Amino acid sequence: MLKVFGILAMTYLGLVAQSSLVPGGSTNLGGPFFPALLLVMIAACCGGASSVLWSGLVGLLLDGMSNDKMGVQLILAVVLALMLQWTRSMWGSQSLVALVAMVMVVCLSWRALSPMTLAVLSGRVVDPQVILTDAIQDATWSGTIAAALILVGRGLMRPGIRGNSMNLSRSVPRMRTAVR
Amino acid sequence: MTGSGAGPVACLLMLVGAGLHFAPDTVNARIRATVSDALRPGQSAARQVSILARENLSQLATKAEAARQRELNQLQEQLQEEQERTAALQLQLARLSELQNREDALPERMRSLPPLVSTSLVSADVLGDSIAEKWKKGKLLNRGEASGIRESELVVKSRHSLVDVGRDGKLSAEDALLLGRCVIGKIERVGRWTSTFLLLTDSGYRGRAQLVHQTDTGFVFVGKGILEGQGSPLCRLKGISSSEAVTVGDTVYTSARDGQPSTPLYYGRVVEATLDPAESEWMVLVEPVPVPSDLTSVQVLRTSVNAGRLTEGQ
């Protein structure tokens, strides 16, 4: 229950941040793409069907937040969720580098495929070079934000983990004595 | 392992996505309105946080820098006000001559009738940007159906009444409210408590427009056309016949249509006008009013039928 609430809350915050805090189209510097971070977080927290469902929810909400044709973000989110599931099954690493790399790849793929797909569907001509440049900028921002968030999160969790390991080491000698 | 349940769930979700893509616009509009309304509390909170952060950051700057910035902002505001005052006065001149011509053509009985449509301005806060591709970004507002906002209503930039036209003759109350106002977009979709608007420069913006051209005898309205956003900093004005005279520097205003206020609102000015001998229309590019990147509030032009005019006819 707590996990469900946590994922819902993070999804809400991520989309609010994307629409309210990330600079709009007037800047050429790009910005973080929080839905990519959400997808990687969901993949790290849960697996299988639930991961795909939550990712689909992120995509659906993203569709609802946009002025473009609906359904595209939902399908992209599901495809990227499946890709993340496959990556986890192959490598399964939760290191900082692995997580940041996943965020950057998801962001790059999403920010490149989304405008191209929408352009094809609406019969609009776009410059792939511009799209790719924008996608790389967004992926860099997203990777940086992800690294910062992971480091802060792990830093906050560390005292709790140390405390638990100390309790475990104290209990082991008593167990050995009992066995003798 | 991707999990045995992931595949079927993914297929189902993709089917849902495809269904949404081909669903009627009313269904999609309802979903979008629901999502916008649900996110509104968080966006309002985020907006307050960013305003507070900006204020605190500006307080950290040295006093001299802050004073310089304040002076710069004041000068920019004054410049903008002067530019908009000039635009309003041009328009006023053109409208007076057109009103006179129109009134002379009306039967006596109809000259004293009140206008069919009455207008009001509704203030709205900008909550953020819609998550869309750069050619069709759109902005989110914290006003929706509950505030009487409807689709296609114009969004204007200026908060202040810029031009003191009350003393000038033959101008209506609507003119006093609207003269000098600059259009920056129009409402695209409306939820219960939120709405989105497209900027003039967003692909998908279309609005009726007319040119005001300076002649030897003064300012006159010339050709009417459609102003289109192109997803770039300049808009395109289509439908201006090759028989019209268009020059760089002409100003572009909204053009009235049934149910819309008759006071034209400022769109921008012509920066490029070319006429290919083989074409029947001018290729006109318009530079719209600049919209600040930190736009925090706008006003929505709300129109309603004048009840006085309806009872007059009974």
Q: pLDDT category, B198, cuts 50, 70, 90?
A: confident
Answer whether residue B154 shows pLDDT above 70: yes
Taking a C-beta distance cutoff of 8 angstroms, is the pair A88, B103 a contact?
Answer: no
More confident call, B99 vs A12: A12
Tokens for B125, please give them. 């806060």
pLDDT recorded at residue A171: 42
Q: Do B2 and A67 touch (CB under 8 A)?
A: no
Q: Give A12 or A171, the one with higher predicted confidence.
A: A12
Whether the per-residue pLDDT at B252 is higher than 70: the answer is yes
A177, pLDDT greater than 90 = no
Q: CA quadruple A14, A20, A21, A27: dihedral positive or negative?
A: positive
The DSSP code for B241 is: B
Going by pLDDT thresholds of 50, 70 and 90, the confidence category of residue B17 is very high
H/E element, B169: none
Does the beta-carbon distance from B39 to A134 stay under 8 Å?
A: no
Using the predicted structure, report yes or no on whether residue B114 has a pLDDT greater than 90: no
The DSSP bridge pattern shows strands B183-190 and B154-156 to be: antiparallel
Quote the pLDDT of residue B176.
Answer: 56
Bigger pLDDT: B73 vs A24:
B73
Quick check: helix, strand or coil at residue A84? helix
**pLDDT cut 90: percent of chain B above it:** 17
Q: Tell whether the model's pLDDT for residue B62 goes beyond 80.
A: no
Q: Is the pLDDT of residue B308 over 70?
A: no
Binned at pLDDT 50, 70 and 90, residue B161 comes out as very low
Helix runs in chain B, H state only: 6-22, 25-60, 63-105, 173-178, 307-312
* pLDDT tens track for A94-126: 788 999 999 999 999 999 999 999 989 888 888
- Model pTM score: 0.73
- Is B131 an 8 Å CB contact of chain A? yes
Angle in degrees, CA B33, A123, B35, rounded to 5? 10
Contacts of B201 in chain A (CB under 8 A): none
Average pLDDT over residues B204-220: 84
Instruction: Label residue B222 by pLDDT band (50, 70, 90).
Output: confident
Give the pLDDT band of residue B125 (cuts 50, 70, 90): confident
Chain A residues with beta carbon closer than 8 angstroms to that of B132 = 65-68
Cβ contact, residue pair A19, B131, below 8 Å: yes
Half-sphere exposure of residue B29: CA atoms within 13 angstroms, side-chain side: 12
Examine the pLDDT at B135 and tell me if it is beyond 60.
yes
Q: Tokens 């005019």 — which residue?
A: B309
Which three-class secondary structure state does DSSP give residue B219? strand
What are phi and psi for residue B107, nearest 5 degrees? Answer: -65, 155
Chain B environment of A66 (Cβ under 8 Å): 130-133
Q: Which residue has the tokens 């903008």?
A: B80
B76, B180, B187, B54 alpha-carbon torsion, rounded to 10°? 20
